[in-house]
Amino acid sequence: GAVVSQHPSRVICKSGTSVKIECRSLDFQATTMFWYRQFPKQSLMLMATSNEGSKATYEQGVEKDKFLINHASLTLSTLTVTSAHPEDSSFYICSATGTGGGFSYNEQFFGPGTRLTVL
Amino acid sequence: SQELEQSPQSLIVQEGKNLTINCTSSKTLYGLYWYKQKYGEGLIFLMMLQKGGEEKSHEKITAKLDEKKQQSSLHITASQPSHAGIYLCGADKIGGAQKLVFGQGTRLTINP
């Protein structure tokens, strides 16, 4: 149980285009999903927290107009990188926390990640 | 700000040898998590520690949280090629409502 998927796993796009990444909780309901970015040989940096049915909260330094987050249902959150540029190339990972019995308060389940390359 | 410092940053070990990875916090830890990541993949949860002095084991991996709750160590006994990867410690962000902060990771290579 507690599986999180991401789609696509890898995407290459031209500079200036927008890219949408999906994060799904497959067998549980996730009220909160987190989006992280990881540059090569660096740790995960939290970008934003997404709560179902409300606006995402962004970490300091993350442009909310560039990284659009939508959490329309309890199993799906999307991250759209708008007008992508080469410096946006990175590994994007989402995580989700479950609700109800059987889940610890802060137990996060991570997706497999999406590698974005902007040419 | 709350920071986690991992050491060493990289480690090359002969198969069968023991090894230890450390994670030190600038502030008291209220929840400390160890994850393993293979390059280009997501994170695999290993263990969570909350109480000072707590120690947990899973197969050949043991994690400890010191009494002051500012340092954790991950110890692997008789390392195997399957242990290779990046080990990340994460901690509950103080006042962060389920947010986690991560150390920079330790890249472990196991030589046959």
Q: What is the pLDDT of residues A86-108, one digit of tens each?
A: 999 999 999 998 766 666 656 78
**For residue A115, which residues of chain B lie inside 8 Å, CB to CB?**
40
Among B16-25, B54-63, B85-94, the least confident range: B85-94
Q: Name which of A23, A44, A52 to mutate to probe chain B: the one with the most chain B Cβ atoms within 10 A of its Cβ.
A: A44
Q: What is the pLDDT of residue B38?
A: 84
Q: What is the pLDDT of residue B5?
A: 93
| pLDDT exceeds 80 at position B1 | no
Among A28-32, A71-75, B80-84, B97-101, the least confident range: B97-101
Output the average pLDDT for chain B.
90
Residues belonging to chain B: 112
Size of interface A-B (CB pairs under 8 A): 53
> Of the candidates A24, A11, A20, A18, which has an alpha carbon nearest to the alpha carbon of residue A111?
A24
What tokens does A21 get?
Answer: 């990444």
For residue A93, give the chain B residue with the closest CA: B42
Minimal C-alpha gap between A27 and chain B (Å): 17
Output the average pLDDT for chain A.
89
| pLDDT exceeds 80 at position B95 | no
For residue B43, give the chain A residue with the closest CA: A110
Q: What is the pLDDT of residues A63-87, one digit of tens each?
A: 999 999 998 888 999 999 999 999 9
Section A33-42 average pLDDT: 89
| Interchain CB distance below 8 Å, A97 and B105 | no
Give the Cα separation of B83 and B6 in Å (integer). 17
**From the CB of residue A8, how many other CB atoms can be counted at a distance below 10 Å?**
13
Q: What is the pLDDT of residue A41?
A: 77
Minimal C-alpha gap between B32 and chain A (Å): 10
The dihedrals phi and psi of B73, each to the nearest 5 degrees, come to: -130, 145
- The HSE-up count of residue A43 (CA atoms within 13 Å, CB side) is 20
Strand pairing report for B10-14 and B106-111: parallel
Per mean pLDDT, which of A5-14, A25-34, A46-55 is the most reliable? A5-14
| Interchain CB distance below 8 Å, A104 and B48 | yes
Strand, helix or coil for residue A86? helix
Please give the residue that has the higher pLDDT: either B28 or A87.
A87
Q: What is the pLDDT of residue A102?
A: 63
